[in-house]
């Protein structure tokens, strides 16, 4: 038989790949189906191609220089949008870099999903030493609200749906989603793949408070002689701005905003008691907490700060938050929108305002303190101090109330919080519940990306150092971010000395006279060296006008700060004398 007459070999069936999909695309499609349009991440094995494909499919992919900042960006995006922010990382070290942000998001009750690629399960589980080997699911679990792993392409839809629901429902928080390398390349029939995806319906369902809980709360509030409302960042997150305003204004009760609740009502509101904070905390008899926990930031609801006995009404979505530090007389459990609107409805139209004796005493203290502050702000010392620099920034923010302020540091944080008034909801992002340094550039990038508004990041020089390399990211995406580094030559200040007398500087001291502005210039942004409030204001106004990435190195008196700002007392003090 000649070759020509040999029967052709039986054709091996060739799969029609045009009707196939893969893990890469199923993840992208599942995210898009759920209106997730942005990913913050850092590429590498096994997710490099995923980032390219996501970009090709119309998802905005913001690439960072370190995963912690991508994670912080995802967390801030979650807080601002009420959609889970997505952070994407490589395995083990990339995952761990992102994990701090995931834990911080969970602590702050911000919804985010950390998606990390991972190595092969069969090798990881036998600890045979795979590339970037780590049992990431087990590591993540105790540090977030929920953790899931997807092993099969047909389960991607369920995995993403569960992650979204876990992040958004009830008390929001961080979720970890583990996607092993092999999953991305798995293929399946495209139509079956499409059917496997889930569009999450009502991911953060309203939780209506029980009618009797609302009644109990209103009865308590009605009997109050010295009532106070405390707004926390949960209230800002809830986006129930009109109801919160109605509750405050219809009740006539003075209120205090926690730092990220500033601007829910303008800080200049006549009912704001911020300038009489210690007085109202000590003197109030009934306190309404709305989306604020009685944690260390509120001295656990007891002790000297809180003065005499008081009763609490607490509005929160998490029933187990109640009684966590002190007895809560009237818990109102539900989502803030539903709870506050029920309170407003229950108050009716003829609610009696608090006694004038109380509101008058607050106004008196406020006026006195504000006058004192105005005097301090009007001084113009050389070198600049925190007050004179912030007096300049305060005026710029007043003129641009839509700008987002990001704020970290110790003294820089405390002074900015009390000096720079906020006028609109969710315009202030800061170190949150942990008092964590390093959120600065990640939060700034997210704020610029999701709001499109000017961002002003007011940073201690130490705080800035944690995420400083991301100025390249800010330049790369040409974001309207103006970073102001309060440069006082060190952590808290620059005057500490080496008590051992050796050549090293003290642990809190940095290079003197550093030029952080040059870092921004290195990547094509605008750098400004400012030594007076006038130079600072001019540069900030120009940054906002031009929208160009800008870094202002604001030289602050290195003796102006105090150790740990306002929380010096938290430093352990030994009474033992050193021999
Ligand atoms: P702050 O630091 O500003 O005092 P916290 O982070 O301590 O605020 O408190 C936020 C609280 O808000 C948490 O207890 C959280 O459960 C609650 N919370 C978050 N979102 C909502 C919501 N949509 N409805 C009700 N409570 C919420
Ligand atoms: N590391 C992390 C992750 N978070 C922290 N909060 C700290 C360290 C400790 N820390 C603070 O609490 S504030 C701060 C550090 C290092 C920096 C303070 O210096 P600064 O600000 O230059 O940023 P000021 O305005 O000079 O005080």
Give 184-245 as a DSSP string.
HH-EEEHHHHHHH----SSSS---PPPHHHHHHHHHHHHT-SSEEEEE-HHHHHTT-HHHHH
pLDDT of residue 5: 56
Q: Which residues of the chain have pLDDT under 70?
A: 1-17, 577-579
Count how many residues are written for the chain.
Answer: 579
Instruction: Please tell me the distance between residue 236's alpha carbon and the centre of ligand 1 in angstroms.
Output: 8
Which atom number of ligand 1 is nearest to the Cα of residue 261? Answer: 3
> 53 C-alpha to center of ligand 2: Å?
39
Going by alpha carbons, the residue nearest to atom 11 of ligand 1 is 291
Q: What is the pLDDT of residues 13-36, one digit of tens each?
A: 566 667 999 999 999 999 999 999
Ligand 2, atom nearest to 491 Cα:
19
Residue 291 near ligand 1, beta carbon < 6 Å: yes
pLDDT at residue 8, rounded to an integer: 56
Ligand nearest to the CA of 432: 1
CA of 520 to the centre of ligand 2 (A): 22
- Ligand in nearest proximity to the CA of 459: 2
Q: Which atom of ligand 2 is least distant from the CA of 465?
A: 23
Would you state the pLDDT for residue 11? Answer: 56
What separation in Å is there between the alpha carbon of 292 and the centre of ligand 1? 5
For ligand 1, the distance from its centroid to the CA atom of residue 255, given in whole angstroms, is 16
Ligand nearest to the CA of 234: 1
Cα distance between residue 45 and residue 92, in whole Å: 11
Closest Cα to atom 9 of ligand 2: 437
Alpha carbons 343 and 209: distance in angstroms, whole number? 10
CB of 331 sitting under 6 A from ligand 1: no
Nearest CA to ligand 1 atom 21: 234
Phi-psi bin for 304: left (phi > 0), alpha (psi -120 to 50), beta? alpha
Q: For residue 294, which ligand has an atom nearest its CA? A: 1
Q: How many Å lie between the centroid of ligand 2 and the Cα of residue 499?
A: 21
472 Cβ closer than 6 Å to some ligand 1 atom: no
| Ligand with the closest atom to the CA of 440 | 2
Ligand 2, residues at Cβ distance < 6 Å: 409-412, 435-438, 460-463, 486, 488, 491-492, 561, 565
Q: 440 CA to middle of ligand 2, Å?
A: 12
Residue nearest to atom 24 of ligand 1 (CA): 335
CA of 109 to the centre of ligand 1 (A): 7
Which pLDDT does position 578 carry in this prediction?
A: 56
- The string of pLDDT tens digits covering residues 358-381 is 999 999 999 999 999 999 999 999
58, 89, 93, 49: which is closest to 73 by C-alpha? 89
Distance CA 154, CA 165 (A): 19
For ligand 1, mutation pick of 78, 83, 145, 171 (most atoms within 8 Å of CB): 171
Of the listed ligands, the closest to the CA of 433 is 1
* Residue nearest (by alpha carbon) to ligand 2 atom 1: 437
What is the pLDDT at residue 569? 87
Cβ 232 under 6 angstroms from ligand 1: yes
Instruction: Determine the Cα–Cα distance for residues 391 and 421; give it in Å rounded to an integer.
Output: 10
Using most ligand atoms within 8 A of CB, pick from 414, 484, 491, 561 the residue to mutate for ligand 2.
491
Ligand 1 mean position, distance from CA 244 (Å): 14
Give the separation between CA 94 and CA 50, rounded to whole angstroms: 15
Q: What is the CA radius of gyration of the chain?
A: 27
Closest CA to 229 of 319, 366, 354, 413: 354
Distance CA 4, CA 19 (A): 35
Nearest CA residue ID for atom 3, ligand 2: 437
Question: Ligand 1 atom closest to Cα of 233?
Answer: 3
Can you give the pLDDT at residue 576?
Answer: 85
| Of 55, 59, 3, 12, residue with least CA distance to 34 | 59
CA atoms of 483 and 471, how far apart (whole Å): 9
Ligand 2 centroid to 113 CA: how many Å?
27
Ligand 1 centroid distance, CA of 289 (Å): 10
């Amino acid at each position: 038989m000649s070759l020509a007459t040999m029967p052709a070999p039986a054709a091996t069936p060739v799969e029609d790949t045009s009707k196939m999909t893969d893990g890469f695309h199923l993840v992208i499609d599942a995210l898009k189906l759920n209106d997730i349009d942005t990913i913050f991440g850092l590429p590498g094995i096994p997710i490099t191609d995923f980032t390219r494909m996501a970009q090709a499919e119309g998802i905005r992919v913001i690439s960072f220089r370190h995963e912690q900042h991508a994670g912080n960006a995802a967390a801030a995006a979650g807080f601002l949008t009420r959609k889970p922010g997505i952070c994407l990382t490589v395995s083990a070290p990339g995952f761990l870099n992102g994990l701090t942000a995931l834990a911080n998001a969970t602590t702050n009750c911000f919804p985010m999903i950390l998606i990390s690629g991972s190595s092969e399960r069969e090798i990881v589980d036998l600890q045979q030493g795979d590339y970037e080997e780590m049992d990431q699911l087990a590591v993540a679990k105790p540090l977030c609200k929920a953790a899931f792993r997807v092993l099969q392409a047909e389960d991607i839809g369920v995995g993403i749906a569960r992650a979204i629901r876990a992040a958004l429902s009830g008390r929001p928080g961080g979720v970890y989603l583990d996607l092993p390398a092999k999953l991305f390349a798995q293929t399946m029939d495209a139509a079956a793949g499409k059917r496997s995806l889930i569009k999450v319906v009502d991911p953060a369902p309203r939780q209506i408070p029980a009618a009797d809980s609302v009644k109990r709360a209103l009865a308590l509030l009605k009997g109050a002689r010295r009532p106070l409302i405390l707004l926390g960042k949960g209230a800002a997150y809830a986006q129930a701005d009109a109801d919160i305003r109605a509750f405050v204004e219809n009740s006539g009760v003075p209120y205090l905003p926690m730092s990220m609740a500033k601007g829910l009502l303008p800080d200049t509101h006549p009912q704001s008691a911020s300038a009489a904070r210690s007085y109202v905390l000590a003197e109030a008899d009934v306190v309404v907490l709305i989306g604020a926990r009685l944690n260390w930031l509120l001295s656990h609801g007891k002790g000297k700060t809180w003065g005499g006995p008081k009763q609490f009404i607490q509005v929160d979505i998490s029933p187990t938050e109640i009684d966590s530090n002190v007895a809560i007389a009237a818990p109102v459990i539900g989502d803030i929108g539903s709870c506050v609107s029920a309170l407003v409805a229950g108050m009716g139209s003829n609610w009696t305002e608090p006694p004038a004796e109380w509101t008058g005493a607050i106004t008196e203290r406020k006026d006195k303190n504000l006058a004192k502050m105005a005097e301090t702000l009007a001084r113009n010392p050389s070198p600049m101090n925190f007050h004179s620099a912030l007096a300049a920034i305060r005026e710029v923010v007043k003129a641009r109330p839509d700008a987002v302020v990001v704020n970290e540091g110790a003294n820089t944080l405390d002074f900015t919080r009390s000096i720079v008034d906020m006028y609109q909801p969710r315009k202030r992002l800061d170190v949150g519940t942990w008092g964590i340094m390093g959120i600065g550039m990640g939060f700034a990038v997210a704020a610029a990306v999701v709001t499109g508004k000017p961002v002003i990041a007011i940073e201690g020089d130490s705080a800035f150092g944690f995420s400083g390399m991301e100025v390249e990211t800010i330049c790369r995406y040409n974001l309207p971010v103006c970073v102001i580094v309060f440069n006082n030559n060190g952590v808290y200040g620059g005057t500490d000395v080496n008590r051992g007398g050796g050549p090293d500087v003290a642990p809190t001291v940095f290079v003197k006279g550093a030029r952080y502005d040059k870092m921004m210039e290195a990547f094509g942004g605008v750098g400004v060296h400012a030594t007076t409030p006038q130079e600072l204001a001019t540069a900030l106004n120009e940054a906002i006008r031009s929208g160009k990435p800008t870094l202002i190195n604001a030289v602050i008196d290195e003796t102006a700060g105090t150790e740990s700002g306002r929380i010096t007392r938290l430093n352990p003090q030994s009474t033992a004398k050193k021999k």
